[in-house]
Amino acid sequence: MTAGTLRVVLAALAALLALAGCTAGPPTAAAAPIGERAVRVTTTTNFITDTVRRIGGDRVEVTGLMGPGVDPHLYRASAQDVRALREADIVFYGGLGLEGKMADLLADLAQHQTTTAVTDGIPREALLPAPGGAPGQYDPHIWFDVTLWEQVSATIAATLSERDPQHAATYRQNLDAYRSELRALDTEVRTRIAAIPPAHRLLVTSHDAFAYFGRRYGIEVAAIQGISTAAEATTADVERVADLLASRAVPAVFVETSVPRQTIDALLAAAARRGQQARVGGELFTDAAGAPDTPEGSYIGMLRANAGRIADSLSATTVTQGG
């Protein structure tokens, strides 16, 4: 081989290596052995973060991207978030379009490392179609049915066990304990909602996050916006729900921690014009749990708080303005 030919071959090889580096993306933790170190996990919503910590226990080191009051429908990953995602052994996210602005990033990560949508283990027949969506699009707010969240927990445990098989027994033990708590919570929520007078069993919120809750616990739901807060509410939406409020004489509506309350204020004004003096029954946790180190900062605490506020407000003959 002549020197000129060798230079051509080496140049071609260098180009191929450079191309491979571009298509492979930044290095990730995909192939890093776990051993006895903690499993590095990055999560999206804070109630996924809480559940991973419950199942992973001391075996996991969790970085949660979204805190209390954060709307996952609108969330965009920062450069720091991307770094945390790429350095993780496992990425857990909601799926079903919940983290809509992160879809391309999550799809790219899935090519290089363990990336799990926690809703993947739920049978499609158990999911609710997205209102007005294309075939195969589903409502992502499955966490409001505790029985579906139990399936999510099993998916988390299975993913941790696959990535860290040496400690699979620990994950199974933690899952079993968590399941017992979830089943008790499911019974508690059902009992609280069943105590609401049937005529007042209508849950009105800003966006359509409670369809699974309504199906599981026997309460009708209505919302001004659709399942994603990315869709703007219209005057017609407000008037439609105001008509329903007035016709049913529902005493309370609810604001959400992760959604501005302007649409609820507009709804109350529209209902008042119809002679219905509804009030804000409280603030519900919808797309995010509460602050860390508070009872509402966990998945179980969030559901318990919501059920209590809904039951107390809709059972009351009068409702005090505020949360």
Task: Report, as an integer, the average pLDDT of 70-77.
Answer: 94
Q: Which domain holds residue 218?
A: 190-315
Give the pTM: 0.86
- What total number of domains does the chain contain? 2
Task: Report, as an integer, the average pLDDT of 157-186.
Answer: 98
Task: Report, as an integer, the average pLDDT of 245-260.
Answer: 89
CA distance 253 to 245: 9
| Residue corresponding to tokens 């230079």 | 7
Residues 159 and 211 in one domain: no
Helix, strand and coil percent figures for the chain, each rounded to 5: 50, 15, 35
> Tens of pLDDT along 75-92?
999 999 999 999 999 999
Domain's final residue, options 140, 168, 186: 186
Domain's final residue, options 161, 186, 211: 186
Residues 169 and 203 in one domain: no
The CATH code of the domain that includes 259 is: 3.40.50.1980
Residues 6+ apart with CB under 8 A from 262: none
Q: Is residue 178 part of a domain?
A: yes
> Tens of pLDDT along 17-38?
333 333 334 445 555 678 889 9
Domain's final residue, options 137, 166, 186: 186
| Residue corresponding to tokens 């857990």 | 92
> Tens of pLDDT along 191-243?
999 999 999 999 999 888 999 999 999 999 999 987 766 567 789 999 999 99
What's the mean per-residue pLDDT of the chain?
88
Residues 145 and 99 in one domain: yes
Q: Is residue 26 part of a domain?
A: no
Q: Is residue 27 part of a domain?
A: no
Residues 122 and 220 in one domain: no
pLDDT for 234 equals: 85
Determine the residue type at 151: Q
The proportion of the chain whose per-residue pLDDT surpasses 90, expressed as a percent, equals: 75
Q: Is residue 179 part of a domain?
A: yes
Residues 48 and 181 in one domain: yes
CB atoms within 10 A of CB 245: 23
> Tens of pLDDT along 105-156?
999 999 999 999 999 999 999 999 998 777 889 999 999 999 999 999 999 9
